[in-house]
């Protein structure tokens, strides 16, 4: 699928960084963390911004950081998976 701008929301901002949440019902983290996925948000995302990626189809949650942004091409980290287990 493709990036959906309407499901990217800024949660907070601070000293040269922003915290975002991106919800995807169609794309898995392997597609989302590919260079170029967030190109349509290049004017919003900055290097070192943190994106909480919520995949509602799988479901999984990952923390990704923006590694580079040339102004047109955005690349994010592979993502750190949040353990979503309940041992009780």
pLDDT tens for 22-74 read 999 889 999 999 999 999 999 999 999 999 999 888 889 999 999 999 999 99
* CB burial readout 17-43, b (16+ within 10 A) else e: ebebebebeebebeebbeeebbbebbe
Dist. CA 8–CA 14, nearest whole Å: 18
Is residue 49 a part of any domain in this protein?
yes
Domain count, the chain: 1
Identify which of 57, 47, 68, 49 has the alpha carbon closest to the alpha carbon of residue 9: 49
Is residue 83 a part of any domain in this protein?
no
* pTM of the predicted model as reported, rounded to 2 decimal places: 0.92
Which residue range(s) make up the domain with 72?
5-78
Is residue 51 a part of any domain in this protein?
yes
Is residue 42 a part of any domain in this protein?
yes
Output the six-digit token pair for 10.
């800024």
Is residue 60 a part of any domain in this protein?
yes
Pairing of strands 17-24, 50-55: parallel
Is residue 46 a part of any domain in this protein?
yes
Res 84: pLDDT: 83
């Amino acid at each position: 699928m493709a990036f959906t701008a309407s499901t990217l929301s800024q949660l907070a901002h601070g000293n040269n960084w922003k915290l975002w949440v991106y919800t995807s019902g169609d794309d898995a983290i392997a597609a989302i963390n590919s260079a170029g996925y967030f190109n349509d948000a290049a004017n919003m995302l900055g290097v070192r911004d943190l994106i909480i990626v919520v995949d509602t189809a799988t479901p999984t949650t990952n923390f990704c950081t923006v590694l580079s942004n040339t102004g047109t091409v955005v690349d994010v980290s592979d993502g750190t998976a949040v353990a979503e287990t309940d041992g009780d």
